[in-house]
Amino acid sequence: MYSQTGFSFFWMSWKICEQLEMLWKVRGPCTVETCCYGDFMRPLGYNPLLDYLEEGNSELSSWRKAFADIFSRVSPEIVNLGPDSFFHMGTAKEFQEHSQRGSRFSTKFLQSFSNNVCCTLINCSIGNGSLMEYCKLEDAQIGSGCLLSGCESSKPFSLDDNSILFTLCITNDEYKYVTILLHRDDDVKAEKQTLCWMSKETNLKGISLWNARLFPVERSREASLHATLNFARGEEDVTINELISIGEAVVTSDTQEMIDFRRRLKHEHLVD
Q: Spell out the SS3 assignment of 120-167.
A: EEECCEECCCCEEECCEEECEEECCCCEEECCEECCCEEECCCEEEEE
Q: Residue 49 is which amino acid?
A: L
Per-domain residue ranges for the chain? 2-71, 116-271
CA 76 to chain centre: 26
Sign of CA dihedral 41, 94, 264, 172: positive
**Residue percentage of the chain with pLDDT more than 90:** 51
Split at pLDDT 50, 70, 90, the class of 1 is very low
What's the rounded mean pLDDT across residues 171-176? 86
Angle separating helix axes 14-27 and 58-71, nearest 10 degrees: 150
Q: Mean pLDDT, to the nearest integer, of 32-51?
A: 84
Residue 98 Ramachandran class (φ > 0 left, ψ -120 to 50 alpha, else beta): alpha
Give the whole-angstrom CA distance, residue 150 versus residue 243. 19
Q: Note the pLDDT tens digit of each residue in 196-241.
A: 999 999 999 999 999 999 999 999 999 999 999 999 998 756 667 8
| pTM for the predicted model, two decimal places | 0.74
Question: 80-137: per-residue pLDDT in tens?
Answer: 767 767 787 778 888 888 888 888 888 877 766 666 788 899 999 999 989 999 999 9
pLDDT of amino acid 29: 84
Residue 213 CB contacts under 8 Å (≥ 6 apart), including other chains: 243, 244, 245, 248
Contact 162, 143 (CB under 8 A): yes
Residues ≥6 apart with Cβ < 8 Å to 118: 133, 134, 262, 265, 266, 269
Q: Give the start-end residues of each E strand in the chain.
A: 2-3, 6-7, 116-117, 120-122, 125-126, 131-133, 136-138, 140-142, 147-149, 152-153, 157-159, 163-171, 175-183, 192-197, 200-207, 215-218, 243-244
